[in-house]
Amino acid sequence: MTHPAFIPGRTAVITGAASGIGLAAARRFVAMGLNVVLADRSADGLRAAAASLGSNAIRTEVIDVAQPEELVRLQAAAVASFGEVNVLLNNAGVGDNPGKPWENPQGWRDLLGINLSGIVNGVQAFVPAMLAQAGPAVVVNTGSKQGITLPPGNSAYNVSKAGVKAFTELLAHELRQVAPGRVTAHLLVPGFTFTGLTGKPEKPVGAWTGDQVVDVLVEGVERGDFYLWCIDNETTRALDMKRVAWGAGDLIENRPALSRWHPDHAEAFAAFIKS
Q: Is 207 helix (H, G, I), strand (E, B) or coil?
A: coil
253/215 Cα distance (integer angstroms): 37
Nearest to 22 by CA among 88, 96, 78: 88
> What is the distance between the alpha carbons of residues 104 and 117, in angstroms, rounded to a whole number?
18
- CA-only gyration radius of the chain, Å: 19
- Residue 19 is classified by DSSP as S
- Cβ–Cβ under 8 Å, residues 13 and 39: yes
Task: Give the type of residue at 48.
Answer: A
Crossing angle of helices 210-223 and 20-31, rounded to 10°: 60
157 given a catalytic annotation: yes
Q: Cβ–Cβ contacts within 10 Å for residue 67, how many?
A: 15
- H-only helix segments in the chain: 20-31, 43-53, 68-82, 105-115, 117-132, 146-149, 155-178, 210-223, 237-252, 266-274
DSSP string, 131-144: HHSSS-EEEEEE--
Query: Catalytic: which of 6, 108, 126, 157?
Result: 157
Name the nearest CA neighbour of 7 among 221, 181, 208.
221
**What is the SS3 assignment for 225?**
coil
Residues with catalytic annotation? 157
